[in-house]
Structure 1
Amino acid sequence: MRGDRGFRWNDKSCDYRRRFLCSTPAEVIPTVCEEGWYMFELSCYQVNNDEATWRAAKETCENQGAHLVSISSEGEQGFLEAMVQQSTWIGLKVDGKDDDGKRNFAWVDSRDFNYTSWSEGEPNDHWASFSEEDCVEMRIEYKYLWNDEPCSTDNACVPEVIQGMEAVLVVVVAVVVAVVVVDEVVAVEEEVEEVVVVVVVVVVAAVVVVVMVAVDVEVEVVEVVVVGSYHKESRSERHCC
């Protein structure tokens, strides 16, 4: 994701060091982001300035039970653009070529590759003779649009915690149970007051929430986003990507 191209995507050699993004399942679902974390939709993000190449970032994520982040919407892209300060790795990498030699990109978590934010003219494998641009970054010089890049650049990281799915499940189940109970009440007593129906719904929903929390329902997904610093040596002999 190239900063100088509006954080659109850019293909890059996988040996360059870039900031990177990871994701992992979690057991506990926080109701709010912890101190030092920043929320976007169902996710919490925290800046981590450790540096790593794309491959090292991927291994770091996997050692945490996570993976490099997959960006799936314009909103998520925009949030990251506002958060990161330098060129940043994302979990997109070349995954083979077509018969005509065209490169295919794929997310490390096998997510559908439906959303893109490439900088104009990217991916172009510009430095293929020097080092294949098989990894993708949000490049600061491209205003954080995406750019393909050699995967050897060092970058830091930002953990992202996706939360709230459990709460959604609780609400859905509570509503379904409440509707069933209300139907039964109305069937038994057609003259039941509206206020009684409302009370029944609220009570049933509360009971369901308590029960689900008691049995420790776990449906959260967590992502760790790694965002890193710009490695000047990697670009000392190059003008652009």
Structure 2
Amino acid sequence: MSALTASISKLEQEKNQLQIEKDELLAKLATKTITKAPEVIKPATKAPIVCPVDWHLFNNSCYFISRTTRDWPESQSFCQSKGGHLAIIHTAEEQTFLWDLLPRGHWNAFWFGISDEHTEDQWKWVDGNPLVGGFWEVGEPNNHIDEDCGYIVKTQVMERVAIRSWYDAPCSMYWPFICEKEMVAGASTAIPH
């Protein structure tokens, strides 16, 4: 019995170590994507995309992680006032890039640009396009208490991963949020503060 317990404990330690290594590899992959992005988007005749202060470049978009909290509609209005919208996340690379920017905490939640407020279980992005796939946590979305807006969670638990971090919640909750502004090379990057 004690041999089995020791074996289980050893396997759990190995699993945790592998999870940490996987998270580090995902972070490195996101970093490599970031460093390669300017080469991909920099035409010979135009200046490269430069994001404003406190905004982060990934592919052709600049992203802003708020430090203040608002409900989901107010978050979308704030992003629109900056010339963007709540973040629209289509790929695992984009999801991992954003998740890696978020601080860890007890339950750090950030609104992004998805909701099913018009038709239950028909999740749509803020640009009106339907969700295909997604990076929901197991068992989510669950519409537990009329939960029509999507958010990303990053906690102190190292086993949590970027590609399983979406939850649904009531749109009236106050959380920080993630804005996205699509950019074009050589365009003005002035975003009002």
State the TM bucket, normalised to the shorter chain.
Answer: 0.5 to 0.7
Q: Which of 72, 76, 83 is the aligned partner of 1:58? A: 76
Q: Which runs of 4+ in 1 moved over 6 A?
A: 220-223
Q: For structure 2, which runs of at least 5 residues remain unmatched after alignment?
A: 1-22, 24-46
Q: Distance in 1 between matches of 2:167 and 2:63?
A: 23
Contact 2:87–2:179 (Cα < 8 Å) also in 1: no
- Report the TM-score when normalising by structure 2: 0.58
Contact 1:93–1:135 (Cα < 8 Å) also in 2: yes
Contact 2:149–2:170 (Cα < 8 Å) also in 1: yes
Using CA pairs under 8 Å that are at least 6 residues apart, name the structure with larger relative contact order, 1 or 2: 1
Q: Distance in 1 between matches of 2:80 and 2:57?
A: 23
- Report the TM-score when normalising by structure 1: 0.47
Aligned residue for 1:55, secondary structure, equals helix
Q: Distance in 2 between matches of 1:117 and 1:153?
A: 21
**Is residue 136 from structure 1 mapped to residue 150 from structure 2 by the alignment?**
yes
**Is residue 156 from structure 1 mapped to residue 163 from structure 2 by the alignment?**
no
Q: Distance in 2 between matches of 1:44 and 1:65?
A: 11
Q: Distance in 2 between matches of 1:123 and 1:105?
A: 10
* Aligned pairs, number: 137
Aligned residue for 2:123, secondary structure, equals strand
Deviations 1:87-121 (A, max 9, x none): 11111111444xxxx62111111134224111101
Aligned residue for 1:118, secondary structure, equals coil
Deviation at 1:64, TM superposition (A): 3.8
Cα 1:107/1:159, change in 2 over 3 Å? closer
Cα 1:33/1:66, change in 2 over 3 Å? closer
Contact 1:94–1:104 (Cα < 8 Å) also in 2: yes
Q: Distance in 1 between matches of 2:180 and 2:190?
A: 7
Q: Distance in 1 between matches of 2:190 and 2:136?
A: 25
Q: Which of 105, 110, 125 is the aligned partner of 1:88? A: 110
**Is residue 74 from structure 1 mapped to residue 88 from structure 2 by the alignment?**
no
Contact 1:160–1:222 (Cα < 8 Å) also in 2: no
Matches within 5 A, 1:89-128: 89-97=111-119, 103-126=121-144, 128=145
Deviation at 1:72, TM superposition (A): 1.1
Which structure has the highest strand share of the two?
1
Deviation at 1:65, TM superposition (A): 4.2
Deviation at 1:61, TM superposition (A): 2.5
Counterpart amino acid of residue 135 in structure 1: C
Deviation at 1:75, TM superposition (A): 0.9
Aligned residue for 2:173, secondary structure, equals strand
Deviations 1:125-151 (A, max 9, x none): 12x2xxx11111112245451111112
Q: For structure 1, which runs of at least 5 residues remain unmatched after alignment?
A: 1-5, 7-28, 168-217, 224-241
